[in-house]
């Protein structure tokens, strides 16, 4: 059985060229896979960020509603206290005392509301910082 030298050389060259093409192709496929993985990670990260943003908006809205309710209840309590003090101090010549008590009650109410607002602002800031990842 005689084998022609051309066929042997052709077979060897074909194997070498196929090996080179396969080697280069594997790098191309690997590069594509890495790029695709990074793209998918970027999309997932953006989706997570949007989900957290929606949750934060809902939480912030609830916090603001709670603050408004708190503010209304504090205001109602202090209005009741003012009326009680006015009723208790009804009489001539006590207007200066009434205004002083009114100012003291307004100051207490404002201090309580400012503390609560500060706490609320801190919570909102913490929620917004969750997005910075």
User: Domain range spanning residue 76?
Assistant: 5-129
- The domain total for the chain is 1
Question: How much is the pLDDT for 78?
Answer: 87
The 3-class SS string of the chain reads: CCCCHHHHHHHHHHHHHHHHHHHHHHHHHHHHHHHHHHHHHHHHHHHHHHHHHHHHHHHHHHHHHHHHHHHHHHHHHHHHHHHHHHHHCCCCCCHHHHHHHHHHHHHHHHHHHHHHHHHHHHHHHHHHHCCCC
pLDDT grade for 132, boundaries at 50, 70 and 90: low
pLDDT grade for 5, boundaries at 50, 70 and 90: confident
- Mean confidence (pLDDT) of the chain: 87
- Write down the pTM of the prediction: 0.64
Dihedral in degrees, nearest 10, Cα atoms 113, 117, 120, 126: -150
Provide the angle, in degrees to the nearest 10, between the axes of the packed helices 5-88 and 95-129: 170
How far is Cα 121 from Cα 115, in angstroms, rounded to an integer?
A: 10
How far is Cα 115 from Cα 83, in angstroms, rounded to an integer?
A: 24
Percent of the chain at pLDDT exceeding 70: 90
Question: How much is the pLDDT for 88?
Answer: 74
How far is Cα 37 from Cα 31, in angstroms, rounded to an integer?
A: 10
pLDDT grade for 18, boundaries at 50, 70 and 90: very high
Tens-place pLDDT, residues 65-99: 999 999 999 999 988 888 887 777 766 666 777 77
Contact call for residues 85 and 101 (beta carbons, < 8 A): yes
């Amino acid at each position: 059985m005689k084998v022609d030298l051309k066929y042997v050389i052709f077979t060897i060259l074909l194997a070498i060229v196929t090996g080179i093409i396969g080697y280069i192709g594997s790098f191309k496929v690997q590069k594509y896979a890495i790029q695709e993985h990074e793209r998918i990670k970027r999309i997932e990260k953006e989706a997570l960020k949007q989900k957290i943003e929606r949750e934060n908006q809902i939480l912030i809205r609830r916090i603001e509603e709670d603050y408004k309710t708190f503010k209304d209840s504090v205001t109602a309590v202090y209005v009741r206290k003012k009326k009680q003090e006015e009723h208790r101090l009804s009489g001539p010549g006590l207007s200066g005392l009434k205004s002083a008590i009114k100012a003291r009650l307004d100051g207490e109410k404002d201090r309580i509301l400012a503390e609560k607002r500060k706490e609320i602002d801190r919570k909102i800031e913490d929620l917004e910082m969750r997005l910075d990842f």
